[in-house]
Structure 1
């Protein structure tokens, strides 16, 4: 009975090699939209669309329309082409939607509900960390890589594939084993004519350059000390914000204890990583650094956002940069080990 149920609910989904880029686009677009929206509303005195007519068009409505547009792109076009644009507009729409979370969870529709920033942060941080563990838990199989190459081939057969994208896919096929269909996909890719990259491919190219930058930094012999310094800088920043909260009249409540607990955990993991780098090697050190970053993301920054709203945005950006560095280093070590 159990195998039958497992087969019934099995979705047979093939993962994308560009999932991390698209999810990153979605998260960055969403967070940027929230910050820009709140800044604009504060500077403009919180105007209402609709004026004195008695109508108020909440920005959750254009957010929903943008998410609908992202779904329309995905459902109406084939191939990987629409995904970067769908991730961008879907992230903007979700940011506009999530910005009004205070109205959804309070009986008086309070846009300025104090814990709203923490709720937004937890949603995005959980999304990032969940996507990270999802990809790391089970790496893409060779068959999935060939399937992704065939997906890119759709653009090529329609005359919409750039030379850089083709070269990237051919390189990925070089890394797979003797998988059924790989040779056929390669022959078709080598025969098709390419064209100048379109807007979606340029979006992918920007993120690829960011990933390449992380990879270059992680290969440096100074990478481990730099990561350690940045991690301790994050701790110092969190303590400075905490000190400002304590000395000011801003309400902070349980946030002090949460920030102290998170920073203590980050210090322990960072110190352990520097020590393990000398005794057990680079990978053990970077894995400990990763625990330090995740502790900051999922504990320290949550309490900072709950207490100081968007004053902790710099800490979030710093953690995302550090997560990119440690993930690039771990990915490189897995390739070398494999």
Structure 2
């Protein structure tokens, strides 16, 4: 009897707390745009300030307009753009503006975590890195463990139809969505959306679609490598480059003295762990278990991303940025290869 009384209110509470969010199939593409724009903005900003002697906007008047302020305005523009227009058109531009704005914002994190507003606070680089690493890895794990449902795919098709009805749907995107709907069979709404998309007249892609297509070529390139006979050599070369770069930095730190002992230990520990995972992956690959081998390779790349590069960022931002690029390439290639194995 008590369960009969309390069950309906509990179900009502669960329903009230549920957000009913529908995931976008282009989320990873927009995330790449956001991260690349943010990281590029940080590097360009730091390089510009170093070359110009760290000027202050406002001069000697006592005022200083920190670049966190235009960063906030760009993020505001991204948010306003996202909820002011329907369809997919504004998404690539919003991701670009938001990435640049967030890069300007997070670049000054040292001022917000120190009592003396120290822009040159050394651990700030590691904080910046951890934020981006957590964003990329969290999104990757979320999509991997929860692929889009059929209902979400239909909802994405309906979103694409909005662009078609407004006369702003490129033919390539239209053909992609038609093929997706055809493969879904009798899922509710798929057939009706297919008929509506057939009646839509495609248009020449606008600038946002060109930007989206540019980033779409990244996973397409990974897919071409994964299906070629060069997949294993490319993986091996990237892992070797990753380990060699980390060891070179570790040796450089060792020569500077004992002040970097903790950082050097972290770099060596992360590199050693990644190499162990690579060896285990090679053993599984030779045994014929390709899926398990790729799982170990993915663990090796994630270990480098979340451990080795964090310590590297504290010592050398530019070396860690190069390592970050290599790790992202490894994760992309491994993820594509795992998807092919599953298919």
TM range (shorter): over 0.9
Could you tell me the TM-score, scaled by structure 2's length? 0.95
Q: Distance in 2 between matches of 1:18 and 1:332?
A: 19
Matches within 5 A, 1:117-266: 117-248=125-256, 251-266=259-274
Matched, 1:292 2:266: no
Alignment deviations for residues 173-221 of structure 1 (CA, whole Å, 9 cap, x no partner): 2332311110111111111111110111111101111111010001112
Contact 1:142–1:176 at 8 Å: present in 2 too? Answer: yes
Deviation (angstroms), 1:249: 5.4
Deviation (angstroms), 1:250: 8.9
Q: Aligned match of 1:99 in 95, 101, 107?
A: 107
Matches within 5 A, 1:82-93: 82-93=90-101
Contact 2:182–2:194 at 8 Å: present in 1 too? Answer: no
**2:26 corresponding residue in structure 1:** 18
**2:53 corresponding residue in structure 1:** 45
Q: Structure 2 vs 1, CA of residues 225 and 285 (structure 1 numbering), >3 Å: closer, same or farther?
A: farther
Dislocated runs of 4+, deviation >6 Å: none
Contact 2:171–2:202 at 8 Å: present in 1 too? Answer: yes
Could you tell me the TM-score, scaled by structure 1's length? 0.96
Q: Aligned match of 2:71 in 41, 58, 63?
A: 63
Contact 2:111–2:118 at 8 Å: present in 1 too? Answer: yes
Alignment deviations for residues 153-184 of structure 1 (CA, whole Å, 9 cap, x no partner): 00000001111110111122233231111011
Contact 2:254–2:261 at 8 Å: present in 1 too? Answer: no
| More divergent stretch after superposition (238-247 vs 57-66) | 238-247
Number of residue pairs matched by the alignment: 335
Q: Distance in 1 between matches of 2:339 and 2:318?
A: 32
Deviation (angstroms), 1:251: 4.2
Q: Distance in 2 between matches of 1:117 and 1:183?
A: 51
Q: Distance in 2 between matches of 1:67 and 1:314?
A: 26
For structure 2, the residue ranges without an aligned partner over 5 or more in a row are 1-8
Q: Distance in 2 between matches of 1:253 and 1:177?
A: 60
Larger radius of gyration: 2
Tell me the secondary structure at the aligned position of residue 195 of structure 1. Answer: coil
Contact 1:224–1:286 at 8 Å: present in 2 too? Answer: no
Contact 1:245–1:308 at 8 Å: present in 2 too? Answer: no
**1:3 corresponding residue in structure 2:** 11
Q: Distance in 2 between matches of 1:283 and 1:224?
A: 13
Deviation (angstroms), 1:253: 3.6
**1:305 corresponding residue in structure 2:** 313
| More divergent stretch after superposition (257-266 vs 169-178) | 169-178
Contact 1:66–1:89 at 8 Å: present in 2 too? Answer: yes
**2:87 corresponding residue in structure 1:** 79
| More divergent stretch after superposition (120-129 vs 161-170) | 161-170
Tell me the secondary structure at the aligned position of residue 252 of structure 1. Answer: helix
Q: Distance in 1 between matches of 2:231 and 2:73?
A: 43
Q: Distance in 2 between matches of 1:59 and 1:250?
A: 35
Q: Aligned match of 2:120 in 109, 112, 120?
A: 112
Q: Distance in 1 between matches of 2:274 and 2:83?
A: 43
Q: Distance in 1 between matches of 2:75 and 2:260?
A: 35
Q: Aligned match of 1:318 in 320, 326, 337?
A: 326
